[in-house]
Amino acid sequence: HRFDSAQLINIDLSYPDDFDLKEYVEKGGFGILNSDKIIIFVGRFQLKQGQHLFETPLSSDQVVTMEADGWFTLKASVPDTMYFRWWLLSLGDKVEVLEPNWLKDKIVETTRHTLSLYE
């Protein structure tokens, strides 16, 4: 996701006149939307696993609060996408979803089901 350089090429592209790439991305266009709503996400991240979020924020309104125990709390407005949920699950015990409650419940349900496969 990091570019060192880019090169302009001459290719004819067609797209709708009212298309706005920034708006498309912000609404979750590349992340398989579950709904068209933006959620206010609050989570606790282990510093070592989540420090990339300082360099690549989840949103322009992201707020990070450092904690004394090697964790930080992050609040951000994000699209409700499958990609976002998969990413949260990939962090395992290095993230705790605090809000919204329905997302926290979904993560708990998925984690319990996964654990049941190994019992």
Cα separation, 57 vs 43, in Å, equals 13
Answer whether residue 1 shows pLDDT above 60: no
Higher pLDDT, 18 or 113: 113
Q: How many independent structural domains does the chain possess?
A: 1
- Answer yes or no: is 2 within a domain: no
Q: Which domain holds residue 48?
A: 21-116
CB 99 within 8 Å of CB 76: no
Whole-structure pTM over 0.75, yes or no? Answer: no
- In 1-119, the DSSP E strands lie at 33-46, 63-66, 71-81, 95-99
- Answer yes or no: is 10 within a domain: no
Q: What is the mean pLDDT of residues 46-65?
A: 93
Q: Is residue 18 classed exposed, middle or buried when 0-12, 13-18 and 19+ CB atoms within 10 A define those classes?
A: exposed
Q: What is the mean pLDDT of residues 98-104?
A: 97
- Answer yes or no: is 5 within a domain: no
Of 2-11, 22-31, 54-63, which gets the smallest average pLDDT?
22-31
Answer whether residue 20 shows pLDDT above 70: yes
Higher pLDDT, 32 or 12: 12
- Answer yes or no: is 67 within a domain: yes
Q: What is the mean pLDDT of residues 72-77?
A: 97
Cα separation, 1 vs 13, in Å, equals 23
CATH number of 41's domain? 3.30.70
